[in-house]
Amino acid sequence: GIIITACFFLYATFGICTYLDKFDLLSASSALELYPAKNPFTIVATVCVIFILLVSSPLMIWAARNSVDATLFKGKEMTNLRWILTGFILCLLSAGLAATSSNILIFFNIVGGILIPVVTLLFPALFFMKATPNRKWYRTVQALISILFTVIAAVACTAQTALEIKNSSK
């Protein structure tokens, strides 16, 4: 919980500071590109983004790995080989998709807008509801809110990506 809170704080701080400082210059490129490389803010923000990636990537792979295992290997005990291979295949697929994309920003929009909310919000909520049949009513409400937010975010991000693809093809 502390790591996720720290990552959220770092990410939100960077986003808000960039939004307030460089709003008129923001485009589809990385916000870090708007700052000079020697700027202390750029160095701190880069370190924070790297920290977030290093800390959150294993959490994402762990959640995806557990989801894949629960879906494909129901009732079977996890083995070290399957644990490592599932994580490796997920990383390999992600890298392969990113490497074959002609427009990396659209790829990030699709992955960030659909897959990340599904893996981080939808799957855990669904598995929680399935795994805890005698849960308190407010836990069900929390899971349903997470599911609803995921659907809204995924639809909105997919629509935005579709508009970007449509506008870039003109």
SS3 sequence of 69-120: HHHHCCCCCCCHHHHHHHHHHHHHHHHHHHHHCCCHHHHHHHHHHHHHHHHH
What does the pLDDT read at residue 7? Answer: 66
Q: How far apart are CA 161 and CA 44, in angstroms?
A: 30
- DSSP-derived secondary structure letter, 29: S
Cβ-based neighbour number of residue 150 at 10 Å: 21
Q: How far apart are CA 42 and CA 40, in angstroms?
A: 5
The answer to whether the beta carbons of residues 90 and 33 sit under 8 Å apart is no
What does the pLDDT read at residue 137? Answer: 92
- DSSP-derived secondary structure letter, 134: T
pTM of the full structure: 0.46
The answer to whether the beta carbons of residues 101 and 126 sit under 8 Å apart is no
Q: How far apart are CA 152 and CA 148, in angstroms?
A: 6
What does the pLDDT read at residue 29? Answer: 58
What does the pLDDT read at residue 144? Answer: 92
What does the pLDDT read at residue 27? Answer: 62
What does the pLDDT read at residue 119? Answer: 74
For each successive 10 residues of the chain (170 residues), what is the average pLDDT?
68 68 59 68 74 72 82 86 87 76 68 74 84 89 90 83 77
What does the pLDDT read at residue 13? Answer: 72
Beta-carbon contacts of 53 under 8 Å, excluding residues fewer than 6 positions away, are none
